[in-house]
Amino acid sequence: MAAACAEKLSTRSERRSRRRCWMLLMVGAMIVQVTEVKLFVVPRESLELDRRKALTTAVVSSMVSAEPAWAGDVFAKRPKQANDAAVKPIGKVDQFGRELVEIARPKGLAKKLYSFDLPVIPGKVWGDYSKQDLKELGVIFKGKFGNETENAVLQSSVLAGPADADYIENIRSKNYTEGYGILRDQETPEQIDLEWTDFERRRRTYYKVHYFMRVLRDLSTKEDKKDVLILFSTLEPQVENLQNLWTTVRDSLKLGR
């Protein structure tokens, strides 16, 4: 009798042990699956950067930072951080009364490839997503100037750097979807002005993006001469409010300093 009871208890114990092992195995498999999924989940900002990789590498000599090196506090008039900012207001305003900040690259060398003025938008912040290298030639600034939904889709941005002839030709020759495409294409020996629309896709929704670009040609006889471009992009609903921002940026671009 005692032996039979002991055998039953042993059998039950083995069953419980097997169940625990099975549960541990299942939990382990779930952890592995979750880990594998996480390895392939890319944050929304990274997806945006990947989609714009071709644009960025064509214009800027390296990939932009995923987060701003500084949050543009000098533009937002926050004195505590402004003392450490790499760029400071230059004491002049545009025709709309907005204070201007001079951007010149490369910032670590006395000889500049180009410079332009970036307007301060009252109550808004420009984020500097450029590579923080004293010899870096490219810049990219982003700002949230739309409503909450628009800002979550795409921040307005100003991007500048050495121009790439293939990139410009790709814009002109691209087969655009109906409702998108080149709106303006003017060229002189000294410069090119382009304006066009394209789209950004977020899940199943398509958002219309407006692009403005100016290219300044280096007409010198230097062997290392470089054309320079500046590009402004924003969502279509913001164009009316921000177009005069582009006008200021575009007209201030110059080779050297």
User: What is residue 26's DSSP assignment?
Assistant: H
SS3 90: strand
Question: What is the predicted pLDDT for the residue at 29?
Answer: 39
Structure tokens at 68: 């701003």
pLDDT tens per residue across span 45-81: 444 444 443 343 334 333 344 444 444 433 444 434 3
pLDDT tens per residue across span 146-160: 888 888 888 999 999
Whether the pLDDT of residue 222 is over 90: the answer is no
The DSSP H or E segment spanning 45 is helix 44-51
Structure tokens at 131: 């590579």
Token match 């114990």: residue? 13
Structure tokens at 182: 């080149």
Q: Give me the architecture of the 44-255 domain, per CATH.
A: 3-Layer(aba) Sandwich (3.40)
168 and 180 Cβ atoms separated by less than 8 Å: no
Is the pTM for the entire model greater than 0.75?
Answer: no
**Higher pLDDT among residues 172 and 48, named by residue:** 172
Whether the pLDDT of residue 16 is over 80: the answer is no
Alpha-carbon gap, residue 17 to 13, rounded angstroms: 6
Beta-carbon contacts of 209 under 8 Å, excluding residues fewer than 6 positions away, are 154, 197, 198, 199, 200, 233, 234, 235, 236
Structure tokens at 130: 């450029």
Whether the pLDDT of residue 175 is over 90: the answer is yes
Q: What does DSSP say about strands 205-216 and 114-119: parallel, antiparallel, or unpaired? A: unpaired
The 3-class SS string of 199-225 reads EEEECCEEEEEEEEEEEECCCCCCCCC
Domain ranges in the chain are 1-41, 44-255
**Higher pLDDT among residues 178 and 223, named by residue:** 178
User: What is residue 92's DSSP assignment?
Assistant: E
